[in-house]
């Protein structure tokens, strides 16, 4: 019943070249770059990017009232310490994206991430904290909201600190909204935990034929059964390992 996970390919900024050969059955969206506008319908794939950089790097001249899309060359992200991953989930499926951090430490790329897609109709999420040298947040939920098939908004749905409770002191609840692990426990900092990032995706709104995307409602319903159990078959399952280790 549930979908594939989708592994990130980390590439230098803007060397983004996804080819038509990666299209899957029923996918009629021929736009592969996350920096180009498109409209989607059910069964389509949809490309979007996640950029890692410092929080300040996402704002024009550091002005926090002027957040630009990472596609916007005025940010000159490519000349800064940043990293981008491109994903192409299917818009009618729930997907868990993973970003393997075994050779990538988010904190050495500024520690914040922004999800984005589009050019003229550029949409981007607010920058969300991922990691610094002390703490790493590994679990995220991203909602992509469409209207008539065009992306309107990307936002991080806070997972809250429920997963923190009952865990050992290796976990800390940050700002009452994110459960973080101490970075020193992570493999990329010499520890024993695979602190790869898991990003749960959900789609809301309407496709270009006004059919309704409802994976968000499915996730809300699934949450009560602990979403992560559903991904038990995901290799090296991202979260369940914690309970084994601590």
Ligand X SMILES: *[C@@H]1O[C@H](CO)[C@@H](O)[C@H](O)[C@H]1NC(C)=O
State the minimum distance, in angstroms, from the CB of residue 63 to ligand X. Answer: 4
Helices (H) and strands (E) in the chain, counts: 2, 15
Nearer to ligand X, 76 or 102 (CB): 102
Please identify which residue in 15, 20, 21, 63 interacts with ligand X, judged by CB under 6 A: 63
Paired strand residues for 72: none
Please identify which residue in 28, 73, 78, 102 interacts with ligand X, judged by CB under 6 A: 102
Q: Measured between alpha carbons, how far is 228 from 246 in angstroms, rounded to an integer? A: 17
Q: Do 168 and 129 contact (CB within 8 A), yes or no? A: no
Residues 6+ apart with CB under 8 A from 20: 30, 32
Nearest CA to 21 among 85, 83, 88, 71?
88
Q: Measured between alpha carbons, how far is 112 from 107 in angstroms, rounded to an integer? A: 8
133 binds ligand X (CB under 6 A): yes
DSSP string for residues in 76-120: -GGGSS-EEEEE--BTTS-EEEEE--TT--GGGGTSEEEEEE-ST
Please identify which residue in 100, 152, 153, 240 interacts with ligand X, judged by CB under 6 A: 100
The site that binds ligand X (CB under 6 A) totals a number of residues, namely 17
DSSP alpha helix (H) spans, 148-228:
215-223
* Span near ligand X by CB under 6 A; candidates 26-34, 43-51, 62-70, 205-213: 62-70
Q: Is 222 exposed, middle or buried (0-12, 13-18, 19+ CB in 10 A)?
A: middle
Nearer to ligand X, 33 or 67 (CB): 67
241 binds ligand X (CB under 6 A): no
Residues 6+ apart with CB under 8 A from 14: 35, 78, 84
66 binds ligand X (CB under 6 A): yes
194 binds ligand X (CB under 6 A): yes
State the minimum distance, in angstroms, from the CB of residue 85 to ligand X. Answer: 14
Please identify which residue in 174, 177, 208, 222 interacts with ligand X, judged by CB under 6 A: 174
Nearest CA to 66 among 148, 8, 122, 138?
122
Q: Do 50 and 114 contact (CB within 8 A), yes or no? A: yes
* Span near ligand X by CB under 6 A; candidates 39-47, 81-89, 126-134, 223-231: 126-134
* Residue list 139-168, contact with ligand X (CB under 6 A): none
Please identify which residue in 28, 236, 245, 246 interacts with ligand X, judged by CB under 6 A: 236
State the minimum distance, in angstroms, from the CB of residue 49 to ligand X. Answer: 20
Mark residues 2-41: x for contact with ligand X by CB under 6 A, - for none.
Answer: ----------------------------------------
Residues that bind ligand X (CB under 6 A): 63, 65-66, 98, 100, 102, 129, 132-135, 174, 194, 196, 235-236, 238
């Amino acid at each position: 019943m549930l979908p594939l996970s989708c592994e990130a390919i980390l590439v230098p900024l803007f060397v983004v070249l996804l080819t038509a050969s990666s299209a899957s059955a029923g996918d009629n969206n021929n736009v592969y770059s996350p920096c180009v506008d498109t409209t989607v319908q059910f069964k389509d794939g949809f490309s979007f990017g996640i950029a890692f950089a410092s929080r300040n790097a996402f704002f024009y001249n550091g002005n926090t009232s002027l957040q630009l899309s990472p596609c916007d060359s005025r940010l000159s992200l490519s000349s800064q310490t940043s990293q981008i991953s491109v994903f192409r989930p299917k818009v009618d499926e729930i997907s868990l994206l993973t970003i393997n951090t075994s050779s990538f430490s988010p904190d050495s790329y500024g520690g914040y991430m922004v999800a984005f897609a589009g050019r003229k109709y550029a949409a981007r999420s607010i920058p969300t904290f991922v990691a610094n040298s002390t703490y790493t947040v590994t679990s995220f939920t991203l909602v992509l909201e469409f209207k008539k098939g065009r992306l309107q908004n990307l936002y991080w749905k806070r997972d809250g600190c429920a997963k923190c409770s009952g865990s050992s002191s290796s976990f800390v609840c940050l700002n009452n909204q994110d459960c973080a692990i101490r970075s020193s426990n992570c493999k990329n900092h010499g520890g024993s935990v695979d602190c790869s990032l898991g990003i749960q995706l959900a789609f809301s709104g309407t496709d270009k034929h006004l059919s309704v995307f409802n994976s968000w409602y499915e996730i809300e319903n699934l949450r009560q059964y602990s979403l992560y159990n559903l991904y038990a078959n995901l290799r090296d399952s991202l979260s369940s390992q914690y309970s084994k280790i601590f």
